[in-house]
Amino acid sequence: MKRSIVVLLFVCTASLAFSKTTATVPDTVKVGAYVISVHDINFHEKEYTVRFWLWFLYDNPNFDFSKQLDIPNAKSIEPPEIISDSMDGKAWVIMKMKCTMKENWSVEDFPFDEQHLKIQIENTLFDNKHLVFIPDTVGSRFDAKEAIDGWKITRFVASQQPNDYETGFGDSSSTFQEFSTFTIDMSIERNAWGLFMKIFIGMYIAFLIAMVSFTPKPSELEPRFGLPVGGLFAAVGNKYIIDSVLPESSSFTLVDTLHSMTFFAIFITLVVSALSLKLHDYGRFDQAIRVNRIGATAVISIYLTGNILAIVLALR
């Protein structure tokens, strides 16, 4: 009798434990994406636009991704085109999305920069205790021909990651919520030499204008001082134009480095001209010409070397 009671209690306990275990097993949703295009890349506004197909395959009838879909790192989401169907007894939902995404661009090496784009997709109602995404890694890909113009996608990964929210959303019994997130990671880079020449040609022309001031005699004040000052204003204007298309950054970028070298080179040019003029006024004509020649050689050599080093480091 006692043995029967013990067996019965064991069975009841095991059944209860099993029911609790099975109750906490989340439903799975197979999800994939096909990126159609990435465009309207705007560095100054820290955003870009992406169009992509998104699909879900699941069993739970409580899931309604037409109303429960969220992309946390999107600035705006246009109402999607939705196709609902079934496949192998499961709900099959396909959505055509267009989103404006926010992005903290890395511009330290601009225009030789590599950017990393991320699209995060969640269900707004069900956390990872009730829903877990399973990425369709085979079907998830991008349009190799039309995906992005002027850039090359070097990495594309579809994965599932947990996303923690450090709040209970009003539930005093919980201090945080964790949601399953389907994530699309893309790395993009470009062949930037054409863009480099477009944006820096004005700066290099300004430098060459300043270097022309070494050719007149030290006594010719107007060209010796007027040309570098004109080149300096042109270089400053070029930097303002480039800065207008880039986001504000506290770090010292390649754009800042090259322009700073240009400003400093033009300043040294003025110093050399002033020193040569002083020697000429003292009647030391040979020394004035020698200082002018050595100064011109030093400024041009150091400037070219510094530019090459800065560009090589940006390309690494």
Which fold, 26-189?
A: Acetylcholine Binding Protein; Chain: A, (2.70.170)
Kindly report, residue by residue over 202-241, the tens digit of the pLDDT. 999 999 999 999 999 888 888 899 999 999 999 999 999 9
CATH 1.20.58.390 residue window(s) in the chain: 193-315
Nearest to 253 by CA among 120, 122, 106: 106
SS3 at position 55: strand
C-alpha triplet 223, 226, 228: angle, nearest 5°: 100
Kindly report, residue by residue over 294-303, the tens digit of the pLDDT. 999 999 999 9
| Residue where the block lists tokens 């939902």 | 93
**Is the sign of the CA dihedral 79, 80, 81, 83 positive or negative?**
negative
Query: What's the token pair of residue 293?
Result: 């020649």
Q: Which residues pair with 157 in a beta bridge?
A: 185
Nearest to 188 by CA among 70, 28, 43, 55: 43
Residues of the chain with pLDDT below 70 are 1-24, 168, 170-175
Model-level pTM? 0.81
CB of 175 closer than 8 Å to CB of 161: no
CATH code for the part of the protein at 193-315: 1.20.58.390
CATH 2.70.170.10 residue window(s) in the chain: 26-189
